[in-house]
Amino acid sequence: MKDEKIIFKKREDIPVEYTWDLKSMYKDEKEWEEDLKVAVKKAEEFLNYRGKIGESGETLFSALRDRDKIYRIISKVYSYASMKLDEDTRVGESQALLDKALRAYVQIEERLSFVVPEILQIDRETLEAYYEEKEELKLYKHHLDDILRQKSHVLSAKEEKLLAQMGEIANSPQQIYSMLNNADIKFPTIKDEEGNKIEITQSNFIPLMESKNRNVRKAAFEGLYHTYENFKNTYTQTLNGNIKKNIFNAKVRNYNSSIEASLDRNNIPISVYENLINSIHNNLNSMYKYMDIRKRALGVDELHMYDLYTPIVKDVEFNVPYEEGKQLILKGLHPLGEEYLNVVKEGFENRWIDVYENPGKRSGAYSGGAYDSNPYILTNYHNTLDSVFTVAHEMGHSIHSYFSKKNQPFIYAGYSIFVAEVASTANEALLLDYMLKNIEDDEKKLYLLNHYLEQFRTTVYRQTMFAEFEKIIYEYVENGGALTADYLCDTYKKLNEKYYGPNIVVDDEIAIEWARIPHFYYNYYVFQYATGFSAAISISQQILEEGEVAVKRYINFLKSGSSDYPINVLKAAGVDMTTEEPVNSALEVFGKLVDEMDRLI
């Protein structure tokens, strides 16, 4: 397949080896339905524990074990329904499946909501006695310690039940946004580089923005954002609803702010968030210099926002069909050793990945799955270098999940979003290092150098800009401000002007970009892309410089799941995120790469 713009007209036209195998989760919907009923039934039976959780070590252990069994089933049920819908978000049957799974999940959350309040009634001295009484209970020690750490923020059993009952309604802003953004919104048709008509989609927007033809880039940019502009008031209200939900939850749980509530879940100090923004503010000159280099390299009188994604090295093209991309990834990840590579190969060979775009398919890419399934990867592959790096990125998430699930019990198999981007970004860094070392063509090396700088720009600088935007708008609402489309657009445009500097024209259209960023519905999520990238740069450098010792340390990190707090798990991997050192080091690398590009251009 040599065509860069691979979009199948129908999903059934895609060769089966390029689709994920959800039948390995459930052979049919009947089997799925049976698991759904089992989970709901077990949740009803679980009510027998009400009022008894703290009676003895035996009862506490049994309750936690049975609770995990319920969540283990319903998480698989929900994961399957979600991925099934993502194959084609227009399919009513799949929408109904996810709706049924979500309702069941909320119902189960309600039934189990008394567990934590009852645990909080157990004093530490009694809990220590229970560990001696019931040896198996020690499995849950970190989990129980974490619950007690948040004691002042957990409500009564009655109040927790009420909040759980509100779960389905509280999820509405994100669900409405997802449907509008992925299924209902339609973008105009423009002409591509060959003069062919092509409809702008969520998936092909970035490839269009990478076009060498400036008219194509400008048309795609204006076509997409003018469409968002037509819906700006609707997007404002969906975002506003989500923000108010999170502020409400923070207040009722006795937090001083929504950011404190969000970061406390993973025991992350707010100073980590603030230090990130401050570090970026202190290193904006390197970004301004990079923008000047881009302007000179493209030979334009004015650099515009639609010029940010196109490679600045002319006449260099990486056309990488998917099969070639897989082999490139395996070579790039070779420093990680046989244990790691064997899992990557398993993912490639056993249909973990849904590769190509089809109408209605969810845009973007992600890694998903459940404790009792393979990891799964959704992507929309376009034979570009960016597509290769996307697969490598998502494979990092999947391998992290694979190792965590294989080496941790269900309660600790997940991992914090604070460390979630480390494995994915380390994969990209190692792949890029391999390519830079093995390509002799100076122009292609310059192209890859530009690609690396773009990773810094989009993952460190841009995500920090998102994080600052999020912090500003939450604080605005928390201080009594009323969100309007004009306020959001004005705030967002000013941040773009600050982060990109005087060497670029910050087009008016970019002011509405916030409306297409789904991560603003994830509640202070995006800053972790930047901190995770910084940690990953440090770890990848350790692997390349120290070899097997660093690899062993890293694999152990991947196997740790959430068996300890994320800050501690990363420290064991050789990175201390409580200091400014990892972020400053990453920005120092960025500055050196900018200087190197300046020398070569």
Q: Residues 150-188: pLDDT tens digits?
A: 888 888 878 888 888 888 788 899 999 999 998 899 999
At residue 479, the pLDDT reads 96
Distance in angstroms (rounded) separating the CA atoms of residues 439 and 512: 39
Pick the catalytic residue from 4, 160, 357, 394. 394
- 566: number of Cβ within 10 Å: 21
At residue 418, the pLDDT reads 87
Range 276-290 average pLDDT = 95
pLDDT digits (tens, 9 = 90+) for 544-557: 999 999 999 999 99
pTM listed for this prediction: 0.78
Q: State the DSSP code for 130.
A: H
At residue 6, the pLDDT reads 67
Looking at the predicted structure, is the pLDDT value of residue 577 above 90?
no
Catalytic residue flag (residue 394): yes
State percent of the chain over pLDDT 70.
99
Range 51-66 average pLDDT = 97
Looking at the predicted structure, is the pLDDT value of residue 521 above 90?
yes
Q: Are the CB atoms for 124 and 114 separated by under 8 Å?
A: no
Sign of the dihedral defined by the CA atoms of residues 277, 279, 284, 286, in that order = negative
Q: Measured between alpha carbons, how far is residue 456 from residues 101, 166, 310 in Å?
A: 38, 39, 15
Looking at the predicted structure, is the pLDDT value of residue 1 above 60?
no
Range 567-584 average pLDDT = 88
Choose among 451, 436, 446, 428: nearest CA to 533. Answer: 428
At residue 442, the pLDDT reads 81
Q: Is 302 helix (H, G, I), strand (E, B) or coil?
A: coil
Distance in angstroms (rounded) separating the CA atoms of residues 396 and 420: 9
Looking at the predicted structure, is the pLDDT value of residue 2 above 50?
no
Range 381-389 average pLDDT = 91
At residue 541, the pLDDT reads 87
Domains of the chain: 11-170 (1.20.140.70), 257-316+412-601 (1.10.1370.20)
Range 321-346 average pLDDT = 97
Looking at the predicted structure, is the pLDDT value of residue 537 above 80?
yes
Range 549-571 average pLDDT = 95
Greater pLDDT, 162 or 499? 499
Distance in angstroms (rounded) separating the CA atoms of residues 187 and 183: 11
Looking at the predicted structure, is the pLDDT value of residue 275 above 70?
yes
Looking at the predicted structure, is the pLDDT value of residue 139 above 90?
yes
pLDDT digits (tens, 9 = 90+) for 460-469: 999 999 999 9
CB neighbour list of residue 169: distance below 8 Å, 6 or more residues apart: none
At residue 5, the pLDDT reads 58
pLDDT digits (tens, 9 = 90+) for 364-377: 999 999 999 999 99
Greater pLDDT, 476 or 275? 476
State percent of the chain over pLDDT 90.
79
Q: State the DSSP code for 505.
A: B
Range 320-337 average pLDDT = 97
Helices (H), 303-337: 322-332
Distance in angstroms (rounded) separating the CA atoms of residues 579 and 570: 12
pLDDT band at 592 (very low <50, low <70, confident <90, very high): confident
In the 3-class helix/strand/coil scheme, how is 436-485 assigned residue by residue? HHHCCCHHHHHHHHHHHHHHHHHHHHHHHHHHHHHHHHHHHHHCCCCCCH
Range 566-581 average pLDDT = 89
Range 583-588 average pLDDT = 87
Q: Is 368 helix (H, G, I), strand (E, B) or coil?
A: strand
Looking only at the bridges linking them, the beta strands covering 197-199 and 189-191 are antiparallel
Distance in angstroms (rounded) separating the CA atoms of residues 137 and 133: 9
What's the mean per-residue pLDDT of the chain? 93
Q: Are the CB atoms for 557 and 136 separated by under 8 Å?
A: no
Distance in angstroms (rounded) separating the CA atoms of residues 217 and 303: 12
